[in-house]
Amino acid sequence: MHGKRILLGITGGIAAYKIAFLVRILKKKGAEVKCIMTPASSDFISPLVLATLSENPVGIEFWDKKTGVWTNHVDYGLWADVFVVAPLTANSLAKMATGSCDNLLLATYLSMKCPTIIAPAMDLDMYAHPSTKRNLNQLLADGVHLIPAEAGELASGLVGEGRMAEPETIAAAIEHFFLSQNSKANLSLKGKKVLVTAGPTYESIDPVRFIGNHSSGKMGFSIAEQLLAEGAEVELISGPTKLGLAHPNLTITRINSAQEMLEAVQSKWSDMNIGIFSAAVADYRPMEMAVQKIKKSENELTIELVKNPDILAWAGTNKAENQLLVGFALETNNVLENATSKLKRKNLDMIVMNTLEDKGAGFSGDTNKISILDIHNKLTSFELKSKSEVAKDIVAYLINYHK
């Protein structure tokens, strides 16, 4: 993002305080940042904080009431490489959708020469309201890029969808935006649809307990990120993780159990060119989920487990001639032998192997050490790398692969 000019527009929601962190992240990445605010937003975060962190004056009013100096919204429009409105309240969203311009931020939006990205933030009922949806759709139709609100705890105390994406997620989305602009001409996966599964699955024992595993989801999210950077349209189906990712070409479906992951995959697979199954799916689930919380007693407790569907095997069985399928194998012994049999049994084109025998490889860390075995029996081994570098290797392998 070095040298990129990012104009941040802040509207009056509680999430405005988080923009201080966003400014710091963007500045650390080498971007130039200017902030403009609606008058209401200065009740939530002081312009002084944003001016200090961005190292630029903050625009709020059309003119300075003391000096009469005019703040030219057209100049902001000419200066910026991207305009990011975060948080975007329901009120400002409605005004942007209708072309109203009763403050500097809105007038700047109407004068923008560069693309606009929005990160809405509001209470769950407001976010779900038909008028909000209508306004969002209008902005999307106008070519605005959306960083969807996330589900979580809201300032009202309610829990649901409406929370502004975290500053790290917004920064990543801005970075993606620039990356995809830079390489628009030679994107290797442009027009390709790729399904990625990621993270663990949680299999409920009762309303408060589950069987899960330590998968962080980092491998799958990093793969999705690399695919997006190469121009692919990505369907990411993820089990419970703390991770977020936003991009105009990305849809994230969040599920909990293996059964839910299977249903999500089944509804999308036939439409895909490539499938990369990196999720750590629980092989078993409790036969029945107790309706009430299980109380402890004097006796031992036995939970009967039944087999979960093998999602990757389902995709392999239902694979069309022109679809490419990639599986993962985490093995502790007989790595090559087990992976070869998995490759054939699940009708894969390639399998990414990692072993817990390798220090730094596997599940929950930030690094991984992989080998790729393809159906032509070609085995390629890679060094220990960060998961995002590993994701680059996997995506590069895919791009150069001939069926």
Distance CA 60, CA 41 (A): 9
Q: How far is the CB of 311 from ligand CTP (least distance, A)?
A: 3
**Active-site option among 56, 72, 213, 347:** 213
- By CB under 6 A, is residue 11 in contact with ligand CTP? no
Sign of CA dihedral 230, 315, 364, 287: positive
- By CB under 6 A, is residue 308 in contact with ligand CTP? yes
C-alpha separations of 361 from 218, 220, 266, 337, 367 in Å: 12, 14, 30, 19, 6
- By CB under 6 A, is residue 224 in contact with ligand CTP? no
Of residues 197 and 226, the one with the C-beta less far from ligand CTP? 197
Q: How far is the CB of 172 from ligand CTP (least distance, A)?
A: 24
Stretch that binds ligand CTP, among 99-107, 179-187, 275-283, 390-398 (CB under 6 A): 275-283
User: Of residues 253-272, which lie at the interface with ligand CTP (CB under 6 A)?
Assistant: 258
Of residues 146 and 262, the one with the C-beta less far from ligand CTP? 262
Distance of CA 49 to the CA centre of its chain: 28
Of residues 283 and 389, the one with the C-beta less far from ligand CTP? 283
How many CB atoms within 10 Å of residue 336?
14
One symbol per residue from 340 to 369: x for binding ligand CTP (CB under 6 A), - otherwise; what is it?
Answer: --x---------------------------
Residue type, 11: T
Distance CA 352, CA 341 (A): 13
What three-state secondary structure class fits 27?
helix
- By CB under 6 A, is residue 221 in contact with ligand CTP? no
Nearest CA to 75 out of 107, 103, 52, 53 is that of 107
Out of 51, 101, 289, 330, point to the residue binding ligand CTP (CB under 6 A). Answer: 330
Out of 161, 283, 358, 389, point to the residue binding ligand CTP (CB under 6 A). Answer: 283
DSSP of 233-272:
EEEEEE-S-S-----TTEEEEE--SHHHHHHHHHHHGGG-
Label residue 268 exposed, middle or buried (CB < 10 Å: 0-12, 13-18, 19+).
Answer: middle
Which pair of tokens denotes residue 21?
């962190």
213 is catalytic: yes
- By CB under 6 A, is residue 285 in contact with ligand CTP? no
CB contact at 8 A, 249 and 189 = no
Out of 328, 371, 391, 397, point to the residue binding ligand CTP (CB under 6 A). Answer: 328
One symbol per residue from 191 to 210: x for binding ligand CTP (CB under 6 A), - otherwise; what is it?
Answer: ------x-------------
- By CB under 6 A, is residue 389 in contact with ligand CTP? no
Q: For 206, how many CA atoms within 13 A lie in the half-sphere containing its CB?
A: 9
Of residues 112 and 281, the one with the C-beta less far from ligand CTP? 281
Out of 312, 325, 343, 373, point to the residue binding ligand CTP (CB under 6 A). Answer: 312
| Site for ligand CTP, rule CB under 6 A | 197, 258, 277-279, 281, 283, 308, 310-312, 327-330, 342
Q: Which residues are catalytic?
A: 213
